[in-house]
Amino acid sequence: MTKDEFYMGKALEEAATAYAVGEIPIGAVIIYEKKAIARAYNLRESLPCATAHAELLAIEKACRALGRWRLTGCTLYVTVEPCPMCAGAIVNSRLDRIVYGCADPKAGAVRSVFQIVDTPALNHCTAVTQGIREKECARLMTDFFRSRRQK
């Protein structure tokens, strides 16, 4: 198992927790110096808050853990490609790298619909690795929405 696959497993654990509490199953983990400094899952329904996406919650926790808003030296692992709001936060927090599982063809803002995190016009570009444990990440989303439709 590669390092990326291992850490994506941690993000999948977060996504499974989201699923269990009725949230869209997206999980995120931020790694700094080989250590998970922040873990989060979607909480939009539970809080309720439109901005309670896994990525934003993990970024907030990582900033508190490091005592700074610049997350240089950090990698974000997230199960689903981030939306435009989260991609903007990734750029603004100066994350070095993002690793995501499955694409979001309707709202993905890293590769699918927009390419926000590596837009040269912005003040920071983030390296991207996509498709890590893609089938597992996609299956969790598919299962969740199938279950919702059946209810």
Please state the residue numbers annotated as binding site: 53, 83, 86
Residue type, 81: E
Does 55 qualify as catalytic in the annotation? Answer: yes
Measured distance CA(76)–CA(38) in Å, rounded = 9
Which residues carry a binding-site annotation for Zn(2+)? 53, 83, 86
Measure Cα distances from 91 to 11, 12, 25, 55, 105 in Å: 20, 23, 23, 12, 20
Burial status of residue 77 (CB atoms within 10 A of its CB: 0-12, 13-18, 19 or more): buried
Q: Which of 14, 23, 55, 81 is catalytic?
A: 55
User: Which residue numbers are catalytic?
Assistant: 55
